[in-house]
A and B are shown apart, each in its own frame.
Chain A
Amino acid sequence: MISLKGIRKIYQMGEIEVKALDGVDLEIEEHEFVCIMGASGSGKSTLMNIIGCLDRPSEGSYTLDGSDVSSLTSRELADIRNRKVGFVFQTFNLLPRMTAHRNVELPLIYAGNNDKERKKKTALALEKVELSDRAKHKPNEMSGGQRQRVAIARALVNDPSIIFADEPTGNLDSRTGLAIMALFQKLHREGATIVMVTHEMDIALHAQRIIHLKDGKIIGDERVKKSRDAEAEFLAVADLDHDNLSDAISKHE
């Protein structure tokens, strides 16, 4: 599905050339759940932006679903971002003036769907992330986890074949992070291809495959023997909290 060959991304910072990516070859198949790991500055976000058609490589070839991305016009790239891929960001990137419903609806507007379709698909996407009751709320009226779920609903709404997530749990506490990971795992079970960037091993172990990046090069590509189950972990943490609380606190009579 995704095939990268000899991808380089070079930034010119005044006199100095910065090689964000330095010859990356990578294949990702349909229905995979891949994590890209690496320290800051390793090029993992750059890699994801290129795969997600947000950025263009300086060199190398990228084939997405059989079509050569470097030959596509910016209009065609926009269409790919609209229909083929969905993005989830660390900072949620919702439009603050708009309600959850409107935020989720936005990709459908750019896709040219009519009112009726938009209503139906938006409601469905919000239902998938269990936020139907928050449709009328604006981002600043919601918690971080809720905002990220709105962002996931927005990424899902056009029924994309790949979901890209850039540190989706980075701005969330670990429990909410687990809930979000559980959601990704559920989407994966339902057939989605997911490419996620993270620097936390805990999070990466929820995927099926981990790609290590260092200084713009792939230094490891491993299968996860047994992925963690975020749902179970989340429930355990939730139960633990519950038990601990009742043990630790005695009511004042």
Chain B
Amino acid sequence: MNITEGLRQSLDVIRGNKVRSFLTMLGINFGVGCLIAISVVGLAFRDSVNSEMGRYGSTLLWVQTNWRAYASNESRIYMSGRDKKYFESALPGMISIESIFDANYTVSYQGNTTKTTVMGVEPAHFDMFSVHMEQGRLFMDDDLINKRAVCILRPDIAATLFEDEDPLGKMITINDRNFKVIGITERMGQGFISDGSDNNTIFVSQDYVATRIWGGRDIRYWFLIMKFDILENVDLAQERITHYLNSKYGKLRGEERFQIERLDTYVGMVDKILNIITVLVLVIAIISIVVGGLGIMNIMLVAVTERTREIGIRMAIGATSRDILVQFVIESISLCLLGGGTGIIFGASLAAIACAILKWKFMISLSIVLGALFISTSIGLIFGIYPSYKASKLMPIEALRSEV
């Protein structure tokens, strides 16, 4: 008996028992659907993480004052300009270093007054955190050299202060000093890392804050972010910074005064969570597939009993045991493949919906589809082989006499 013929007969049988076949393949369908959905969503998630990483690079490291180590009224230690200079000179492979300063100030434009976060940033900031401009321009070297009092607004604060007016070129007051608005940013997207700003933040040049507001005093940093060329240098930097800060400032009641974070550990954490979810869904999928396989086995046993006479007839006209075995195995595999095939469609649709909602890129790889088909085939084989073997071992005359 060849495979085409076996398939033809299987389809006859499946068509002849539509409801039963449908119910039987549901378990496989659901299991394979879960497998496909989690694979595709996982793939899409990793892709979205990777594209975020591509934007930031995974080689970011930041140091910040460890607020938790301090009691509420205790005076905190910040990093100094000298510390920053040390990092710039002592850490190999550093591409950029940036500090962020922020404080709440009263800001006003004509009668509109409100309190909001003012963030002192360096020119590299906008690139590092992927802040894009809606209108106007970024800070330029020229602004810094000439110590111009300029600022960039997030869209919400622009709307609050200016309502329908065009903010570009207008002067606003921040903490009693005048700043000229040179740009409005786009609304914030959902980035993987954030600089702590929101849609109400005003950006000013840190240099200006240091020289004009702080009056030339050495600036104190509670936050420094550094970008490196390769991960090895991040490791090295983490080690050196820890050593440097601990030996200079010492620990506080056994706790570090500064905490050092790396983007790659965050990604690793998210990856871990995704892995846990993946394992859970996999377990559900596997249980479902195994239960589905048992369902297939059950229905195949029923089919063999029901069709004992048919088996007898086939043997009487020349079918060998092997022919019968192959026929029933093909039938079982066909059922599983039907379940698996529709499961692929079901899972891919689920994943497509999830990706559309999360704005991830929907990708389905050939290997996932082939894997699902392979699993379905294996299940059909594993759970179909026993009933088929039973069928093939029937004695022709006894099978023929069967009255079922």
Contact = CB atoms under 8 A, between A and B. Distances in A.
A54 B318 contact: no
Contacts, number: 68
B30 to A, nearest CB: 29
Contacts of A94: 313
Contact of A82 (B5, B317, B322): B317
Given A55-B397, A109-B1, A110-B323, A83 B318 contact: yes
Interface in B10-41: 12-13, 16
A222 to B, nearest CB: 28
B interface residue count range (under 10 / 10 to 19 / 20 to 34 / 35 or more): 20 to 34
Given A74-B321, A93-B312, A109-B2, 9 more contacts: A54-B316, A55-B395, A55-B397, A78-B319, A82-B318, A82-B319, A94-B313, A107-B318, A109-B1
A74 B400 contact: no
Contacts of A111: 318
Contact of B320 (A49, A110, A154): A110
Contacts of A74: 320-321
Given A49-B397, A97-B12, A97-B13, A110 B321 contact: no
Interface residues of A, number: 28
8 contacts: A49-B397, A74-B320, A81-B396, A95-B310, A95-B314, A107-B318, A110-B323, A111-B318
Contact of B316 (A93, A98, A158): A93
Closest 3 CB pairs of A and B: A82-B318, A78-B320, A110-B318
A176 to B, nearest CB: 22
Interface of B: 1-2, 5, 12-13, 16, 309-310, 312-323, 395-397, 400
Identify the interface centre among A78, A107, A155: most chain B CB within 10 Å of its CB. Answer: A78
Interface of A: 49, 52, 54-55, 74-75, 78-79, 81-83, 86-87, 89, 93-95, 97-98, 106-107, 109-112, 154-155, 158
A155 B317 CA distance: 8
B225 to A, nearest CB: 72
A78 B318 contact: yes
A164 to B, nearest CB: 9
B397 A75 contact: no
A186 B320 CA distance: 31
